[in-house]
Amino acid sequence: MTSSDRQSLRGTALLADPFLNRGTAFTADERRALGLEGLLPPQVETLERQAERAMAHLDAKPTDLERYIYLSALVDRNETLFYKVLMSDPARFVPIVYAPTLGEVCKSFSHLYRRPRGMYISLDMKGRIAEVLRNWPVPDVRFLCVTTGGRILGLGDIGANGMGIPIGKLQLYTACGAVPPHTTLPVQLDIGTTNAALRADPLYLGLRREPPPEAELDAFVEEFVTAVQEVFPACCIHFEDWKGTDAIRYLERYRDRVLCYNDDIQGTASVTLAGLVTALRIKGEQLADQTFLFLGAGSSALGTSDLLVTAMEAEGLTVAEARSRIVMMDVKGLVEPSRTDLSEEQRRYAHAAAPTRDLLETIRRVRPSVLIGVSTAGGAFTQPVVELMAEINARPIIFPLSIPRPECTAEQAYGWSDGRALYAAGIQFPQVMRGDMVFRPGQANNFYIFPGLGLAVYATRPHLITDGLIIEAAHALADQVSPSAQARGMLYPPQSQILEVEVTSACRLAEYLFANGMATVPRPDDIRAWIEGMCYSAEYGAVEAVAGG
């Protein structure tokens, strides 16, 4: 439905449109003008009163999964009210519409399915993807989040069930970064799934086939990317939760050709770098003086390592020196030159050493100051591992980033390190009490990065997203952790202030884009006021907009 079609809606059709529906907030005059009399209870309510009722419903739900289902129904009938609720308390609602609850949602997405949201582009649409994309009713799509479902939150390949991820990611663009929701488009690129159980599930909604060979997939993705440029020429493609080898390959293929980025690679790298910058400020040390040990050697580890190398170069190291400070292990052991199963990207971090699968032995050899978990192996940072890190370092930096099950909990890290660990996980843990000390664990989650990055890109319209911009995003975030917060061991700003944080980051990134000649719009006199003027606000628009003038 086009914008002009929407402006002519009346009666029940208007109430069924989530973009224009106001429910009980339609005034008496609007009800008469728009054929709504008798279709609504007589009481006219404010948006705030409607939000109060929605909050009461949410409070009554027994689980976060039930709250997610309620919120999904809410956005399907009244988008403005949905965002009013989310933006009223992001710290409460982000874990519901995003990780960790979203992992449970994706496992059962086909079973929970209510109505379509976004677009499903499948292999049987080859040769006519541009034609299919034109079915989307909004011509000016500015952010398209696309997944194949090949690697979702530690769940592996869940095919079309992965559609919950782009939906949730783009909702955070708006809830946390105030990017107008009508400019976003979730896309499931359905290439089939390796998950035989899903293919046998009678309620599964995706293609019931194995993914195609690499050459066929590459041609399909090329057509898709080209079609996006044709149909939505100002659009940024946000690659999300692709199989690791595909994620790396497509980022390298398209990052210098089109406006795109991969959140699992670049977003994870940026938010990790931000936490490290803050932790090292607490320690009074430089990034270039650290030794890093990654448990996990997939796309997240490689993307983070590559960004760390670039950041250490800025501190004076050569590329070789910076890479020598990064060591990786995966399920097959230490990443070292004798292994024949390594990718080209992994070989950059394969340093001469005796093979081993023993994490403790590797820690003793390498003596890392930073331990990062991107392994999806929950509980892998055992008590001996954390105790050894604390023995080697006065303030060990421990980042178990796997979602939904991190390599160790905050309570374990603080307890096993005698309260000396500088800790952040991929999920949020509650504060930890040890004696009279209170520890506030950080959440190294990408929602601290991509909404602000998205708002800056929305405002400035660059042609590309560079590593320099990703590093700037990390520093923009780290600079918002106050000295008093650092003194309490906090590595990230409070989630309760996420919208302010993202807008501030967006202003900083816009400054960078203008300063480096990357923006394609005129520089305003007051960047902050300019960006704030573009921010989405969850309020009902003017009556004329609903009535079509």
pLDDT in tens, 273-299: 999 999 999 999 999 999 999 999 999
Annotation marks residue 423 as catalytic: no
Query: Could you tell me which of 331, 269, 334 has the C-alpha nearest to residue 300?
Result: 269
Annotation marks residue 492 as catalytic: no
Q: Is the pLDDT of residue 250 over 50?
A: yes
Strand runs labelled E in 378-520 = 397-400, 422-425, 432-434, 437-439, 442-443
- What digits encode the pLDDT tens for the residues 334-347? 999 999 999 999 99
Q: How far is it, in rounded angstroms, from Cα 193 to Cα 44?
A: 49
Contacts of 33 (CB under 8 A, 6+ apart): 547
Query: Could you tell me which of 241, 305, 298 has the C-alpha nearest to residue 102?
Result: 241
Query: Where is 189: in which H helix or E strand?
Result: strand 184-190
Range 484-501 burial, b when 16+ CB lie within 10 A, else e = ebbeebbbbbebeebbeb
pLDDT of residue 546: 47
Query: Could you tell me which of 313, 311, 301, 376 has the C-alpha nearest to residue 346?
Result: 301
Give the domain ranges of the chain.
46-262, 266-446
pLDDT of residue 213: 96
- DSSP class of 463: S
pLDDT of residue 549: 38
- Number of residues that this document lists for the chain: 549
If one counts every other C-beta atom within 10 angstroms of the C-beta of residue 525, the result is 6
Please state, rounded to an integer, the average pLDDT across all residues of the chain: 94
Q: What contacts 24+ positions apart, CB below 8 Å, involve 317-322?
A: 317/288, 322/288
- What digits encode the pLDDT tens for the residues 197-232? 999 999 999 999 999 999 999 999 999 999 999 999
241 annotated to bind ligand: yes
> Apex CA 272: angle with CA 149 and CA 147, to 5°?
15
Out of 68, 83, 84, 169, the active site residue is 169
pLDDT of residue 436: 84
- DSSP class of 369: S
Give the confidence band of 185 by pLDDT, cuts at 50, 70, 90: very high
341: left (phi over 0), alpha (psi -120 to 50) or beta: alpha
151 annotated to bind ligand: yes
If one counts every other C-beta atom within 10 angstroms of the C-beta of residue 400, the result is 31
Tell the CATH superfamily of the 46-262 domain.
Malic enzyme, N-terminal domain (3.40.50.10380)
Query: Could you tell me which of 231, 133, 229, 222 has the C-alpha nearest to residue 186?
Result: 133
Q: Do the domains 46-262 and 266-446 sit in the same CATH topology, yes or no?
A: yes
306 annotated to bind ligand: no
pTM: 0.93
Residue pair 241/158 in contact (Cβ under 8 Å)? The answer is: no
445 annotated to bind ligand: yes
- What digits encode the pLDDT tens for the residues 26-41? 999 999 999 999 999 9
127: left (phi over 0), alpha (psi -120 to 50) or beta: left
Q: Is the pLDDT of residue 428 over 90?
A: no
Packing angle, helices 64-77 and 79-88, rounded to 10: 140
Amino acid at 294: F
**128-136: average pLDDT:** 98
Architecture of domain 266-446: 3-Layer(aba) Sandwich (3.40)
